[in-house]
Amino acid sequence: MATRRALLACAAALAAGSLVLGGTTAAHADSGVTGITVQEAHNDWTNNGKIVLSLTAPSAVKNVKVSLYSMETQQTVATVGNFDLTSGTAENGTWKNRGRIQLPDLGSYRIDVSASDEGGDTLSAAGVGYFYYAVQTNMKDTKVDRTTVDFSTAASPSAVT
């Protein structure tokens, strides 16, 4: 009996959740408009001072703004509004900020996005991705001029051969 009640409760919760989370408004169903959608939001893998933001929209995106929110301090620490379309189209493309982002502290920041398109659609979404602000070591121009290295003795010039 208890199992039957538990199953009925789960089924009712699932039905209620699908109505709340999966429902489409009549206006969206009739017009086919889905609004602006964030496909991805994260650091540029080659430059951690840049944000990569992929958006789709019914018409050309005209305004993009990103806020970086510190989970540690519970405050917005930076707002970036200078984005350029770097690939794709204004209706389905990837955007990157023009300058490097400089933050006061290293760490992980939540990405919040607001955007609008030429058709009047707007987006305001919190937590669409994470921006990881970290130190990256660049060793592109590093050359080794020794064939072996011995770290067994303390700072003696003869220890490195």
Domain boundaries of the chain, sorted by first residue:
35-133
Here the tokens at position 73 are 């301090």
Task: Report pLDDT for 76.
Answer: 96
Task: Kindly state the DSSP code that residue 120 receives in the 8-state scheme.
Answer: S
Distance from C-alpha of 57 to C-alpha of 88, rounded to nearest angstrom = 12
119 pLDDT band, cuts 50/70/90, is: very high
Here the tokens at position 31 are 């017009």
Distance from C-alpha of 159 to C-alpha of 161, rounded to nearest angstrom = 6
CATH 3.90.470.10 fits 35-133, yes or no: no
Mean pLDDT, the chain, whole residue set:
79
Nearest C-alpha neighbor of 63 from the set 83, 37, 38, 77: 83
- Given a cut of 80, whether residue 18 has pLDDT beyond it is no
Neighbours of 97 (CB within 10 A): 19
Task: Report pLDDT for 139.
Answer: 77
Nearest C-alpha neighbor of 112 from the set 75, 68, 52: 68
Residue located via tokens 């009640």: 5
Nearest C-alpha neighbor of 91 from the set 59, 136, 131, 51: 59
pLDDT 10s digits, 81-93? 999 999 999 999 9
Give the lowest-confidence range in 25-34, 107-116, 138-147. Answer: 25-34
Give the lowest-confidence range in 18-27, 113-122, 123-132. Answer: 18-27
Task: Report pLDDT for 145.
Answer: 80
Distance from C-alpha of 115 to C-alpha of 75, rounded to nearest angstrom = 20
Task: Report pLDDT for 101.
Answer: 94
Q: What angle do CA 5, 10, 1 make, to 5 degrees?
A: 15
Neighbours of 106 (CB within 10 A): 9
pLDDT 10s digits, 43-82? 998 888 999 999 999 999 999 999 999 999 999 999 999 9
Burial label, 48 (beta-carbon count in 10 A; 0-12, 13-18, 19+) = middle
- Given a cut of 80, whether residue 117 has pLDDT beyond it is yes
- Given a cut of 50, whether residue 31 has pLDDT beyond it is no
Distance from C-alpha of 94 to C-alpha of 129, rounded to nearest angstrom = 14
